[in-house]
């Protein structure tokens, strides 16, 4: 049974559901009001990422029912996504203490790993790594970090949506090139679900994603990468490369703030992409630059891992060095001048 015909319906369903959520947010005054930590200047409805969650989870049900994804992956992905989305939805509508959010994130990650079978054997620098329970612990922290870094990086119009669409469509191409077409369906339907929302979220955004959507995307992309690694370890490095913009900016910023002794769970706007958006005075140039980096730099490097069997670790280093230079250029993790002056 072909499911290609369903993709336009998924995009349309996500689009109209986002519109409905926007009307609901406006009616209930669920607005993201700008403050000193915001990267936007106009009050904007929030919570639109719920459209991505609902659309994709319905898609998973259909894909499992028609046999395009296996039951273990369905149970793991559906349960993990639902847990994270509920936590994010509750936090969007009130406040959940950071420790309880984090506990929920680890539970969700553990659920996914149970059904995926943990971290598979990975090949790094030509060496096969059998990490056992250490690998399982690493995979759990990896999933939780992917969830949170995506939340951190969802700070300007369209950037999180564009990153997800680029990564998912890019990896679908590489799944096809590597002969692993069976893996295509989940990321392809995720791209379609995000595309419907992106129409509303593209700069200037008419609605924001919210924690329910950003956390859901982060952990689901992590789940996709571990699913792929179980089939071909090269595909794990492909995902790490394709998500390089978010991984480098978020990780470098976090390490810099940790070294300075900041409370890393507190809101801030010291990511490189946030500094860049303020420098250029608009979100659109930054979001479009992320798209171009993904398609013109990261995708070709990921392609080399699959087509020319370039070592995944080496390819990741090559991909990340310019991203790290850009993070430094745009002051990732540095205190804003006004914050510095306030301390003196």
Q: Is the pLDDT of residue 343 over 50?
A: no
Q: Does 34 fall in a domain?
A: no
Q: With bands split at pLDDT 50, 70 and 90, how would you rate the model's confidence at 18? A: very high
Q: With bands split at pLDDT 50, 70 and 90, how would you rate the model's confidence at 340? A: very low
Q: Find the length of the chain.
A: 344
Q: Does 36 fall in a domain?
A: no
Q: With bands split at pLDDT 50, 70 and 90, how would you rate the model's confidence at 22? A: very high
C-alpha angle 241/245/250, rounded to 5°? 115
Q: With bands split at pLDDT 50, 70 and 90, how would you rate the model's confidence at 134? A: confident
Q: For the chain, what percent of residues have pLDDT higher than 70?
A: 95
Q: Does 38 fall in a domain?
A: no
Cβ atoms 237, 304 nearer than 8 A = no
Give the pLDDT of residue 35: 65
Q: Over the stretch 39-59, which tens digit does the pLDDT of each residue have?
A: 666 889 999 999 999 999 999
Cβ atoms 162, 154 nearer than 8 A = no
pTM of the model as a whole: 0.94
Q: Over the stretch 277-333, which tens digit does the pLDDT of each residue have?
A: 999 999 999 999 999 999 999 999 999 999 999 999 999 999 999 999 999 999 999
Q: Is the pLDDT of residue 342 over 70?
A: no
C-alpha to C-alpha distance for 272 and 331, rounded to whole angstroms: 6
Overall number of domains in the chain:
1
Q: With bands split at pLDDT 50, 70 and 90, how would you rate the model's confidence at 175? A: very high
**9-23, 72-86, 94-108: the lowest-pLDDT one:** 94-108
Rounded to the nearest integer, the mean pLDDT of the chain is 92
Q: With bands split at pLDDT 50, 70 and 90, how would you rate the model's confidence at 91? A: confident
> Residue 258 in 3-state DSSP?
helix
Q: Does 197 fall in a domain?
A: yes
Return the sign of the alpha-carbon dihedral for residues 201, 203, 206, 212: positive
Give the pLDDT of residue 17: 98
Top-confidence residue, 4 or 222: 222
C-alpha to C-alpha distance for 261 and 292, rounded to whole angstroms: 34
Give the pLDDT of residue 327: 97
> Residue 127 in 3-state DSSP?
strand
Q: Is the pLDDT of residue 133 over 90?
A: no
Within 8 A by CB and 6+ apart from 132, the residues are none
Q: Does 331 fall in a domain?
A: yes
Cβ atoms 135, 129 nearer than 8 A = yes
What's the whole-number mean pLDDT along residues 13-38?
Answer: 87
Q: Is the pLDDT of residue 339 over 80?
A: no
Top-confidence residue, 43 or 206: 206
The 8-class DSSP code of residue 134 comes to H
Q: With bands split at pLDDT 50, 70 and 90, how would you rate the model's confidence at 83? A: very high
Give the pLDDT of residue 341: 32
Q: Does 35 fall in a domain?
A: no
Give the domain extent around 330.
6-29+43-343
Give the pLDDT of residue 344: 28
**33-42, 45-54, 198-207, 250-259: the lowest-pLDDT one:** 33-42
């Amino acid at each position: 049974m072909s499911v290609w015909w369903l993709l336009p319906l998924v995009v349309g369903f996500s689009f109209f559901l986002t519109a409905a959520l926007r009307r609901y947010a406006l009616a209930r005054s669920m607005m993201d009001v700008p403050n000193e930590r915001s990267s936007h200047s106009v009050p904007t409805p929030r919570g639109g990422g719920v459209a991505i969650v609902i659309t994709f989870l319905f898609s998973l049900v259909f894909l499992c029912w028609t046999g395009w994804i296996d039951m273990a992956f369905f149970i793991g992905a559906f349960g993990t996504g639902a847990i994270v989305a509920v936590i994010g939805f509750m936090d969007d509508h009130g406040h959940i203490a950071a420790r309880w959010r984090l506990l929920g994130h680890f539970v969700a990650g553990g659920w996914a790993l149970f059904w995926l079978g943990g971290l598979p054997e990975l090949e790094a620098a030509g060496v096969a790594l059998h990490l056992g329970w250490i690998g399982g612990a690493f995979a759990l922290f990896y999933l939780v970090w992917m969830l949170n870094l995506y939340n951190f990086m969802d700070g300007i119009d369209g950037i999180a949506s564009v990153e997800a669409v680029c990564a998912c469509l890019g990896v679908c191409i590489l799944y096809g090139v590597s002969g692993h077409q069976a893996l295509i369906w989940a990321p392809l339907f995720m791209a379609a679900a995000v595309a419907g929302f992106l129409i509303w979220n593209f700069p200037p955004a008419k609605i924001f994603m919210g924690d329910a959507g950003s956390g859901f995307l982060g952990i689901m992309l992590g789940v996709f990468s571990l699913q792929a690694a179980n089939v071909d370890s090269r595909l794990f490095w492909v995902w790490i490369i394709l998500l390089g913009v978010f991984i480098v900016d978020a990780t470098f910023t976090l390490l810099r703030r940790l070294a300075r002794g900041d409370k890393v769970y507190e809101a801030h706007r010291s990511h490189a992409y946030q500094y860049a958006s303020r420098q250029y005075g608009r979100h659109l140039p930054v979001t479009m630059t992320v798209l171009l980096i993904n398609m013109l730099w990261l995708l070709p490097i990921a392609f080399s891992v699959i087509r020319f069997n370039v070592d995944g670790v080496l390819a990741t280093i090559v991909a990340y060095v310019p991203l790290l230079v850009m993070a430094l250029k745009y002051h990732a993790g540095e205190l804003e001048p006004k914050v510095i002056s306030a301390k003196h």
